[in-house]
A and B are shown apart, each in its own frame.
Chain A
Amino acid sequence: MPPLIVKRRLILLCALLVFVAVWFVPLPALRASGTHEFSLDMRQFEFTPGRIEVQQGDQVTITLSSSDVVHGFYLDGYQINQRVEPGITRQITFTADQTGKFRYRCAVSCGALHPFMIGELVVNNNFPFWRALTLLGVSLISTLVYLYFGANKA
């Protein structure tokens, strides 16, 4: 096999190993045990606040209210789905045991932009995000190494 092909395959193999390592190596969970309470108001087509940040392990209580029409609160990854009528507050409590960014969405058709009524719960440390950024760096570096050392220079 020509040396250039061997070199390319070696670079690809190394890149693949780094990819797998970055994505699958377990990271220590920095668990907190605090309690956080938030009030979250809904109106067409936004949540206020639009972003909530907590630490992994925190117990989170959210008091939900609606300022205009009937809305719903669906939290990705936590299987929480709560209907909220205007004038009536609802409370949900859960433990933020998974890290990452989880979107909360309106779960009751509330108007034209209903499918895009979205907010964000960020559970720190947001490991999936940092892994993604590391992967981005690995993607760039491995491609550059491949191109620099594996290119046919003729």
Chain B
Amino acid sequence: MITLPRPAPPSARPAMPAALKTLLKARWFQPALQLITLFGFTLAILAGFFGTPAGSRNFGIVFVWIVWWALLIIVLVPFFGRVWCTVCPLPAPGEWLQRRGIIRRTPGKLHTLGKRFPKRFKNMWLQNFGFLGIASFSAIILTRPHISAGVLLAFVLAALGLSLVYEKRVFCRYVCPVGGFIGLYAMMAPLELRVRDCKTCLEHGAKDCVVGNDQGYGCPWMVYPGNLKRNTYCGLCFECIKTCPKDNITIRLRPFGSDLFVAQERRLDEAYKAFIMLGCALVYSTVLLGRWGWLKNWANMDTLPHWLLYAAGLWLFNLVLLPGLFWGAAWIGRKLAGEMKIRDLFVAFAYTLVPLGLAAWIAFSLGFVFVNGSYALSVLSDPFGWGWNLFGTADAAWTPFAPQLLSFLQVGVLSVGLMFAVNTAYRSARQFYADHRGAFTAMLPVAGLLTLITGVFMVLYLG
């Protein structure tokens, strides 16, 4: 639990199994998966615009916000990191236009204006504010098919527009609100793409992984794989595996949460992403799964002043209150353990919210997936709510799945998240305080705060 196995010396890092390597090197692999998801995505948008306005009978709501969301947050992100980005349909039209091709590697430069993305936006802040903006309207987006479809379409158009102006996947890297939190929580995944031997990359001058060659494109995510230490910004497009002439890039398993301890890459924008994600999980659990009807109506914009109060509360809680509490805990820890740069300590401790936040989102998602998952059966047969019965399941009744099991799972997930978070706090503190006792003391206030937050979730779910 405390000491992760040391990374094996580069020469010992194994190559991928041959079958996997062949698959990932195939140029058709990613577009084939994207075409499948693009089909589902197009269906979701069409159903949103032209199908029934009843969300629980509309493919666009049920398959995006119940099925896809559950798959993403409960399975894909915790176990496979950014693998959704491999198959995500949002950037596909823009990327295919840039390349003037879908499968084969088209020669020449990308077709784009080739502008440089402003340096001040090369971080997670746009994604942070984008996510908060969407979260402010979530009660509406999650339940109105036409608005949900409009948001999805806006994402595609934004990705398309940015791909015409800027090179590569600027939308995915700096703008996509979903990509932001997937990147954050991908740090937990036990799967990573890394080079086998850093020295080989240093000695290789051509840098095919960055500039591309006849086998593939330069990294669309603007990452140099030779220096990749975390999953956060690698979109698992596998172009580097295709282009590397040294066969030096591999995919491998590792302990959960290994990226949380890469001290030199911690940043305030990522710390705030962690606050926002945990804060939103707490707010959603209160508003959507709680018993307070007036709060649901405020979020549902029953009147503009009510919604403004709700949105202001959401933003204040996520951007001021939660970070403020963490700052206080880090400050107390520093007072107890010894002087240290408070900002660095604050940012480092914020990463403890990655495991806890992921656990909180899993617990929250279980809460509505178990109860509302059965809508998927009827929607599968009648995606538009037009009275079709394609697979004979259109009349499947709404049946909550094992609601009495739910709280056991939520408690289990939250407890594991808390243990992981406290462990992360200690290990992060050890990077500041060389002695064991100092590090342990420094992280105690943060551990208390993490426990308090977990306790609030338990009160909401079981109390």
Q: Does A114 make an interface contact (CB < 8 A)?
A: yes
**From A109, A128, A148, A152, contact of B3 by CB (8 A):** A152
- Expressed in whole angstroms, the Cα–Cα distance for A102 and B405 within the complex equals 11
Q: Does B293 make an interface contact (CB < 8 A)?
A: yes
Q: Which residues of A contact B407 (CB under 8 A)?
A: 100-101, 128, 132
Asked, given contacts A50-B293, A126-B463, whether A132 binds B54 with beta carbons under 8 Å apart, the answer is no
- Expressed in whole angstroms, the Cα–Cα distance for A142 and B420 within the complex equals 12
6 contacts between A and B (CB under 8 A): A115-B143, A117-B293, A129-B458, A140-B451, A143-B423, A152-B2
Asked, given contacts A129-B463, A153-B436, whether A116 binds B296 with beta carbons under 8 Å apart, the answer is yes
Q: Which stretch of B8-16, B315-323, B329-337, B396-404 is in the interface?
A: B396-404
Q: Does A85 make an interface contact (CB < 8 A)?
A: no
The answer to whether B458 and A46 have CB atoms under 8 Å apart is no
Q: Does B300 make an interface contact (CB < 8 A)?
A: yes
Q: Does A135 make an interface contact (CB < 8 A)?
A: yes
The answer to whether A144 and B400 have CB atoms under 8 Å apart is no
The answer to whether B463 and A112 have CB atoms under 8 Å apart is no
The answer to whether B291 and A118 have CB atoms under 8 Å apart is yes
**From B139, B293, B404, B415, contact of A76 by CB (8 A):** B404
- Expressed in whole angstroms, the Cα–Cα distance for A153 and B440 within the complex equals 11
Q: Which residues of B contact A143 (CB under 8 A)?
A: 418-419, 422-423, 447
The interface bits of chain B over 280-309 (1 if a CB of A lies within 8 angstroms of the residue's CB, else 0) are 000000011111111011001000000000
Q: Does A139 make an interface contact (CB < 8 A)?
A: yes
- Expressed in whole angstroms, the Cα–Cα distance for A143 and B444 within the complex equals 11
- Expressed in whole angstroms, the Cα–Cα distance for A149 and B398 within the complex equals 51
Q: For chain A, residues 95 to 116, give those with C-beta under 8 angstroms from any C-beta of chain B.
A: 98, 100-103, 105, 107, 109, 112-116
The answer to whether B55 and A150 have CB atoms under 8 Å apart is no
**From B140, B293, B459, B463, contact of A46 by CB (8 A):** B293
Asked, given contacts A107-B398, A120-B291, A151-B426, whether A128 binds B462 with beta carbons under 8 Å apart, the answer is yes
We find that the number of chain A residues with CB closer than 8 angstroms to chain B is 47
Chain B: which residue is nearest A104 at the CB level? B291
The answer to whether A139 and B415 have CB atoms under 8 Å apart is yes
Chain A: which residue is nearest B404 at the CB level? A77
**From B144, B289, B422, contact of A147 by CB (8 A):** B422
**From A8, A114, A133, contact of B1 by CB (8 A):** A8
The answer to whether B411 and A116 have CB atoms under 8 Å apart is no
The answer to whether B55 and A112 have CB atoms under 8 Å apart is yes
**From A46, A126, A133, A139, contact of B419 by CB (8 A):** A139
The interface bits of chain B over 131-147 (1 if a CB of A lies within 8 angstroms of the residue's CB, else 0) are 00000000110011000
> Chain A's interface: helix, strand, loop or mixed, by majority?
mixed
The answer to whether B291 and A140 have CB atoms under 8 Å apart is no
Residues of B within 8 A of A (CB): 1-3, 54-57, 139-140, 143-144, 287-294, 296-297, 300, 368, 371-372, 398, 400, 403-404, 407-408, 411, 414-415, 418-419, 422-423, 426, 435-436, 440, 447, 451, 454-455, 458-459, 461-463
**From A115, A118, A136, A150, contact of B415 by CB (8 A):** A136
Chain A: which residue is nearest B412 at the CB level? A135
Q: Which residues of B contact A115 (CB under 8 A)?
A: 55-56, 143, 368, 371-372
Q: Which 3 A-B pairs have the closest CB atoms?
A: A46-B293, A50-B291, A76-B403
Chain B: which residue is nearest A142 at the CB level? B419
Chain B: which residue is nearest A139 at the CB level? B415
The answer to whether B1 and A46 have CB atoms under 8 Å apart is no
The answer to whether B403 and A77 have CB atoms under 8 Å apart is yes
Q: Which residues of A contact B404 (CB under 8 A)?
A: 76-77, 98, 100
**From B3, B400, B447, contact of A74 by CB (8 A):** B400
Q: Does A73 make an interface contact (CB < 8 A)?
A: no
Q: Which residues of A contact B300 (CB under 8 A)?
A: 45, 112-113
The interface bits of chain A over 37-51 (1 if a CB of B lies within 8 angstroms of the residue's CB, else 0) are 000000001111011
Known pairs A112-B55, A113-B143; list 13 more (Cβ under 8 Å).
Answer: A8-B1, A77-B403, A100-B404, A117-B296, A126-B463, A133-B458, A136-B451, A139-B419, A140-B422, A143-B423, A144-B422, A150-B2, A152-B2
